Structure 1
């Protein structure tokens, strides 16, 4: 199952734009889009491209993540994005998702998105379901992807696509204030099989990203029985020195508490999510084989940086039932020098559909 993911259909940048303009313009296409409607400047890129191609054949559910008291600047940006998205796609609704329970500050966003998608009614004759991860947080995008994939896999005719507009510099310029609790992403607890009568040996794969030291330190402090820490670094990357800069930023952790061996770094493409997916899958297969009968292996992912790399980690977590841990953001701030929409890379991943009918 899902063996086609190793070489699934992907498109990047101009080819992705051409694919959207040609494939989704076919009169027989009828699509349901799930995307973010927050302050993130990426929120309009994919919906606008799809709306231009499809017109009234496009239906959408826009997720508005609510986190306590947002700054006036971000609220204004989110309101503007929401209004533009509503005007772009007539057949659309905006669903507010409360991330934290106001009574006790418990994280409830994952449960809320699950409830919203379980109750959704797809348009009659829908052919394609699309998740745009561009402006969604990990705690919302990952559960949404898993649920939408399950809906698509229950049909022989339904396609499921993941798309995103990516800019690593923008990811770095959006800084979240971390909450106090380390969380497991809803639906990504991992190791759902029977407990083995051997000790656990965990490998933690933190995705290093600018300004994420606090969150990753919290996650590391919560983990026990760690066998190894294998940091994931972006290479090749748009900035050729990005990996070196991150190693320097995380130097204290790498040399200290994390005890990272130079051979344990994982380098994955900042542009292609399949590189991240394949690297994690290969590590899992080798690790399972190495410790078979001696330890119960467990791989824990923390994809807190580039959304492209996170999408590949999400695919690996879904296919191999891996644990995903993160720290939810209480609120966000964005640098005034954040990248604009003209600097975005576009990624399309075709995860499921009749095109893969020959795979088992």
Structure 2
């Protein structure tokens, strides 16, 4: 028996609809908004906060600066400029430095940010906005999970919104210097550490992205999955992107990962709900098939588009799926890339709150729920 889906239906907006929603909803006099965003080098850092401020929303800001070893002078300068723009848009704010690595290069960013967010009070806040545009997966996923779990326990905030300024060309232009320590995003180990999943059929769903061959190769070695179903963006803003990625990962698809062409997953690059529904359908199909032979577990690796990463996040939250990830030691961005984003596609997901009837389908947890 399949479980009901928590975000079906889901309230979402795309493109110009997002601006209309911001202007109509957040400008209300009864709205007190906490916006959580990244104050890093990414040109998209201030897009959502500036839009909220322009709508007249009453804002308080928590802006995370992800600290990594030996950042380049150019990226530090970009980050400082973005922080200045964010603080101008949101005068009531706090800049929060977040160490991503410990002194031994262990990944601690997710735990650090979750600890900070968990210490916040939401007594006067009606809406929390998490803008993932300039936040890494290792930072944004634990933040969102913590907020969802607080809402589940009735500890607020009443409403949780996810926003992203989508620009696939910019995603491709940001080069990642990957660490050598693959692992699981903080709070997203799923059931893999449980004895009952020792013999489970492990299906890996990596999101293919330009320049991520080495990172995904290390994750494959770390996971040793039984099967792999790579995720390609289609439809996409660049209609040839899927073909280009298939060509870039040709040796992995044909040899290292042994992928049948029928096992490739296609998901709309600009619609996180498309990938969310696809992952849940795969999970529903596999559960009864493998129930008598050790069970099935899906492992996600969202290393590409931030919009598609939101779809993976929603599926991981709902089914307690593990998220395998290789944190970035650093980044490189060509100086020719504009300091301000000018061609972004906005996406909004109303993740939790007043818009949904109660009771809602619960989030699943492998540690507390029966199979």
- Residues 1:71 and 2:87 aligned together: no
* Higher mean C-alpha deviation, range 179-188 or range 196-205: 196-205
SS at match of 2:164: strand
Distance 1:69 1:193 in 2: 34
SS at match of 2:330: strand
Runs of 4+ in 1 over 6 A off after TM superposition: none
> For residues 23-46 of structure 1, what are the alpha-carbon distances to aligned partners after superposition, in whole Å with 9 as ceiling and x for unaligned?
000110111111100000000000
* Residue 310 of structure 2: aligned partner: 311
Alpha carbons 1:202, 1:298 under 8 Å: kept: yes
Distance 2:265 2:89 in 1: 40
TM-score by length of 2: 0.92
Alignment CA distance shift 1:214-1:70 (3 Å): same
> For residues 273-298 of structure 1, what are the alpha-carbon distances to aligned partners after superposition, in whole Å with 9 as ceiling and x for unaligned?
00010000100110112111112211
How much has 1:171 moved relative to structure 2?
Answer: 0.7
Q: Which structure has the highest helix share of the two?
A: 1
> For residues 20-74 of structure 1, what are the alpha-carbon distances to aligned partners after superposition, in whole Å with 9 as ceiling and x for unaligned?
011000110111111100000000000001112235x211100000001111111
- Residues 1:187 and 2:207 aligned together: no
Alpha carbons 1:189, 1:322 under 8 Å: kept: yes
Alpha carbons 1:4, 1:356 under 8 Å: kept: no
* Residue 35 of structure 2: aligned partner: 33
* Residue 354 of structure 1: aligned partner: 354
* Residue 130 of structure 2: aligned partner: 131
Alpha carbons 2:6, 2:318 under 8 Å: kept: no
Alpha carbons 1:198, 1:294 under 8 Å: kept: no
What count of residue pairs does the alignment treat as equivalent?
356
* Residue 330 of structure 2: aligned partner: 331
Distance 2:163 2:358 in 1: 24
Alpha carbons 1:4, 1:359 under 8 Å: kept: no
* Residue 154 of structure 1: aligned partner: 153
> For residues 185-237 of structure 1, what are the alpha-carbon distances to aligned partners after superposition, in whole Å with 9 as ceiling and x for unaligned?
0000011796338722100001000000000000001123x221000000000
Aligned pairs (5 A) from 1:51-70: 51-55=53-57, 57-70=58-71
How much has 1:140 moved relative to structure 2?
Answer: 0.2
Unpaired runs of 5+ residues, structure 2, are 361-371
Alpha carbons 1:12, 1:348 under 8 Å: kept: yes
Alpha carbons 1:100, 1:107 under 8 Å: kept: yes
SS at match of 2:303: coil
TM-score by length of 1: 0.95
* Residue 86 of structure 2: aligned partner: 85
* Residue 211 of structure 2: aligned partner: 211
SS at match of 1:90: coil
* Residue 301 of structure 2: aligned partner: 302
* Residue 94 of structure 1: aligned partner: 95
SS at match of 1:350: strand
